[in-house]
A = this chain, B = another copy of it.
Amino acid sequence: MQRIKCTVAYDGMNFCGYQIQPNQRTVQQEIEKALQKVHKGEPVRVQASGRTDSTVHAKGQVIHFDTPLSLTGEQWMAALNTMLPDDIVVQQAEKKTLDFHARYGVVKKEYRYRVLLSKKADVFRRHYVYQYPYALQIESIRKAIPYFIGTHDFTSFCSAKTDKKDKVRTIYELDLIEQGDELIFRFVGNGFLYNMVRIIVGTLLSVGQGKISPESIPDILKKQDRRFAGKMVPGQGLYLWEVNYNN
């Protein structure tokens, strides 16, 4: 048996998220279907670094699977990309030892969230950004950002639907990048709770609108209550950008 690690990009728009669900089109289902074809009908289970929600994109999702086949990384890439639909692309494939695990080995994850600052919809980016038509005070957003960095209990910024008990996570970096007509929020952390990035971005946009003051972020964190944070922004602006492992 060989363990294969793949870095996978996908356009989330036409998927009901990453994880397999009955009667839904999911990324995991498409990858396992492709692997089954390569393995002449034998089912192959895939492990991912984590799930992504409906319409959420990935530039660098990481998965692994075990296989009796002896192919090089290049050959795995070619074989899978031939079988996969065109909204999933394997970017890299390599052999790993059996102690590599796509989920349990994660040490750092990067997410990005793209906001299009425009009153008008952009027909070519409609699936790839969140179009935001209101004026924003960028300086207020910049003041609020540092309060999120570090180790905190993020209960207030987590969907109530989660099944995770431990809500403490560490955000190493949170950058705001102004790029043309877009605002890009870049998050690097040791892990993210369910909807955490989307609720933090929604809260920062409320800060930019003057509805929440930058200085109230520490209070909202302390409340440990989802109702005190801002609205969740839509999935289509969110990208699982990169997943890092210890060597």
Contacts and interface: CB of A to CB of B under 8 A. Distances in A.
Interface of A: 9-11, 57, 81, 86-89, 91, 120-124, 126, 128
A143 to B, nearest CB: 32
Contacts of A87: 123, 126
Given A86-B121, A124-B128, 13 more contacts: A9-B124, A11-B123, A11-B124, A57-B124, A81-B121, A86-B123, A86-B126, A87-B123, A88-B123, A89-B120, A89-B122, A89-B123, A91-B120
Rank and list the top 3 A-B pairs by shortest CB-CB distance, nearest first: A9-B123, A89-B123, A11-B123
Contacts of A57: 124
Nearest to A87: B123
Contacts of A81: 121
A9 B128 CA distance: 17
A6 to B, nearest CB: 13
A109 to B, nearest CB: 19
Contacts of A10: 123
A128 B86 CA distance: 13
A22 B223 CA distance: 60
Contacts of A86: 121, 123, 126
A13 to B, nearest CB: 10
Centre residue among A11, A86, A124, A126 by max chain B CB count within 10 A: A124
A87 B13 CA distance: 14
A57 B124 CA distance: 9
A80 to B, nearest CB: 12
A81 to B, nearest CB: 7
